[in-house]
Amino acid sequence: MRILLVEDEMMLADAVRDHLLAAGEAVDHSASVVDAEIMLRGTNYDVLLLDLNLPDGKGLDLLRDLRRKGSATPCIILTAQDQISDRIEGLNAGADDYLVKPFDLNELSARLAAVSRRYSGNPNPFVELDVGVEVDLAGRSVLRDGVQVDLTSREWALFDQMVKRPGQTLSKRQLEEALYEFGAEIESNTVEVYVSRLRRKLGKEVIKTVRGVGYRVEG
Amino acid sequence: MRILLVEDEMMLADAVRDHLLAAGEAVDHSASVVDAEIMLRGTNYDVLLLDLNLPDGKGLDLLRDLRRKGSATPCIILTAQDQISDRIEGLNAGADDYLVKPFDLNELSARLAAVSRRYSGNPNPFVELDVGVEVDLAGRSVLRDGVQVDLTSREWALFDQMVKRPGQTLSKRQLEEALYEFGAEIESNTVEVYVSRLRRKLGKEVIKTVRGVGYRVEG
DNA sequence: GCGTTCCTGACAGCAAACTGAAAAAGACAG
DNA sequence: CTGTCTTTTTCAGTTTGCTGTCAGGAACGC
């Protein structure tokens, strides 16, 4: 398992790395956000271990950014005892779990195992729509007639929501919430535009319009 | 929406209940785990609001138990500021979201809406009429002989009303009110027209005419 | 039979949705 | 930083198809 550890306290970082290396994991280490960004660009990690309290920027922004770009890499955040709000925000920003410093190294292993299990052991990540479109929800990829189609992050955010509820009509309101942070209202026809683009990429029949309500993909 | 609130701090419980009742939700309250178990046996709730720190047992066990029995009822857990591990465990045990006490009542509403929307999907209340028609009230979808049928919003508004009261005859007056806001008089035969359209889409037998009174769908 | 109630095809008006294009914002390499 | 390329958002012109209305005919109760 490839693990990226983002942590600036060297003592802790070393301890963690040693422990994980001893357990047979591949660990890369970066001590800053910029550093981490570079490493993330170069490699596909299986898990991200992220300290939120870094010198050169919020680790949280790093995570949020990743998620916005569509990465689904599992992430465990590390925070100090007294920074509760960070922890909450972290989970909201897309973290999968967190550990409070100081933590037991065995607990770290356990959580790592849990997180990666959750991601690999998924029963049925492949959804097949009867219009020649296959979707890998976990892997974030779409095939049309067997050919891979690239979706931008917004396109995916929308499509993901709809595919997860096939046969059901989703209101524009609901779909907007998939696109933007909770309350954030948008005053134009963004959803329509993205539906239009998705249709161009995936075919007209994939997304049905339910006039006056929203959209739907068939079961 | 039927909500079960499991909370032993009376002041908080009352505040929550008042707020939700004011928002038009149906709230039941229980102050202990045993109590909650009894209520859960009797009623199908749409959302469970669960305090983890209860006098007579772990709220967590209640949740885990529910999940083990296959219930997918969305659950939001309520925890105190300093019980972080509970929160993680809660999410692992099958909770859908959490709120840290003290929380803003409006945030509670927002999360409730989000969670129930998210879940208005999977385990759906499917109504099955014995004429080859299935209706997913939450997902706004109708199947005729297994085939998805598109309804316009007016058509749905009407049908929705009738399906919710199977076997009951609804007057045209009542049905008009489903179509238009409150008193808004309409001077033509709109209801008849829509019944006609629904029959064409769903089959003649779905909606029965009760001459001089109104319409009815069979249970 | 008669009167009443209900059904249904047709249609014009209009709000909702679609879509191409362009501006704005962001990502990235040099 | 600069220029280039991609993605996101906005806007406006066009298209689509829902809606309410009406009218002629069918069904019903008596």
Sheet holding B141-144, edge to edge: B126-129, B133-136, B141-144, B147-149
Closest CA to B89 of B62, B108, B116: B62
Q: Which of A122-126, B167-171, B215-219 has the lowest mean pLDDT?
A: A122-126
Write down which residues 183-202 in A have CB closer than 7 A to strand D: 186-190, 193-194
> What ranges do the domains of chain A cover?
2-120, 126-217
Residue A83 half-sphere exposure, CB side, CA atoms within 13 Å? 17
pTM above 0.90, yes or no: no
Closest CA to A131 of A214, A201, A70: A201
- Interatomic separation, CA of residue B191 and C1' of nucleotide D23, rounded (Å): 17
Tell me what ipTM this predicted complex has. Answer: 0.60
pLDDT of A26:
84
Q: How confident is the model at residue A22 (pLDDT cuts 50, 70, 90)?
A: confident
Give the percent of chain B with pLDDT over 70.
78
Q: Which of A61-75, B34-48, B89-103 has the lowest mean pLDDT?
A: B89-103
CA distance A156 to A137: 10
Fold of domain A126-217: Arc Repressor Mutant, subunit A (1.10.10)
- Per-range mean pLDDT, top range of A112-126, B12-26, B168-182, B204-218: B204-218
- Interatomic separation, CA of residue A202 and C1' of nucleotide C17, rounded (Å): 19
Fold of domain A2-120: Rossmann fold (3.40.50)
Q: How confident is the model at residue A92 (pLDDT cuts 50, 70, 90)?
A: low
Segment B94-122 shows an average pLDDT of 66
Residue A164 half-sphere exposure, CB side, CA atoms within 13 Å? 18
Is the shortest CB-to-strand distance from B181 to strand D under 7 Å? no
State which amino acid sits at residue A109. S
Task: State chain A's mean pLDDT as an integer.
Answer: 78
Q: Write out the E strands in chain B.
A: 2-6, 26-30, 47-51, 53-54, 57-58, 75-80, 97-101, 126-129, 133-136, 141-144, 147-149, 169-171, 207-210, 214-217
Task: State chain B's mean pLDDT as an integer.
Answer: 79
The verdict on a CB contact (< 8 Å) between A164 and B121 is yes
- Per the CB < 8 A criterion, the answer to whether B110 and B167 are in contact is no
- Per the CB < 8 A criterion, the answer to whether A12 and A108 are in contact is no
Q: What is the pLDDT of residues A185-207, one digit of tens each?
A: 667 899 999 999 999 999 998 99
Give the percent of chain B with pLDDT over 90.
16
Spell out the residues 6+ positions from residue B37 whose beta carbon is closer than 8 angstroms to its own: B62
CA-nearest residue to A97 within chain B is B88
Residue A79: strand, helix, or coil: strand
pLDDT of B195:
95
Q: What is the pLDDT of residues A103-145, one digit of tens each?
A: 778 778 877 876 766 665 444 457 788 778 888 876 778 888 8
Q: How confident is the model at residue A13 (pLDDT cuts 50, 70, 90)?
A: confident
DSSP string of B53-108, one letter each residue: EETTEEHHHHHHHHHHTT----EEEEEETT-HHHHHHHHHHT--EEEEES--HHHH
Chain B residues in contact with A218 (beta carbon < 8 A): 148
What sign results for the dihedral spanned by CA atoms A117, A118, A122, A127? Answer: negative
pLDDT of A123:
44
Chain A residues in contact with B91 (beta carbon < 8 A): 91
Is the shortest CB-to-strand distance from B213 to strand D under 7 Å? no
- Interatomic separation, CA of residue B186 and C1' of nucleotide C13, rounded (Å): 18
* Same fold: A2-120 with A126-217: no
pLDDT of A181:
59
Residue B172: strand, helix, or coil: helix
The verdict on a CB contact (< 8 Å) between A114 and B92 is yes
Segment A92-96 shows an average pLDDT of 65
Is the shortest CB-to-strand distance from B196 to strand C under 7 Å? yes
State which amino acid sits at residue B63. L
Q: Closest Cα of chain B to A212: distance in Å?
A: 6
Write down which residues 55-114 in B have CB closer than 7 A to strand D: none
What Cα–Cα distance (Å) separates residue B67 from each residue in A217, B34, B37, B96, B128? 29, 17, 13, 12, 26
- Interatomic separation, CA of residue A137 and C1' of nucleotide C12, rounded (Å): 46
CB-based contact, A88 to chain B, within 8 Å: yes
CB-based contact, A208 to chain B, within 8 Å: yes
Q: What is the pLDDT of residues B47-93, one digit of tens each?
A: 889 888 777 667 778 888 887 776 777 888 887 755 555 655 666 66
- Per the CB < 8 A criterion, the answer to whether A78 and A51 are in contact is yes
CA-nearest residue to A218 within chain B is B148
The verdict on a CB contact (< 8 Å) between A219 and B148 is yes
| Residue in A84, A169, A211 closest to B139 by CB | A169
CA distance A52 to A68: 18
- Per the CB < 8 A criterion, the answer to whether B99 and B76 are in contact is yes
Q: What is the pLDDT of residues A135-171, one digit of tens each?
A: 887 677 888 888 888 888 889 889 988 887 788 888 8
Q: What is the largest CA-CA distance in chain B?
A: 65
Q: Has domain B2-119 been given CATH number 3.40.50.300? A: no
The verdict on a CB contact (< 8 Å) between A84 and B84 is yes
Token pair in block for residue A68: 């916005």
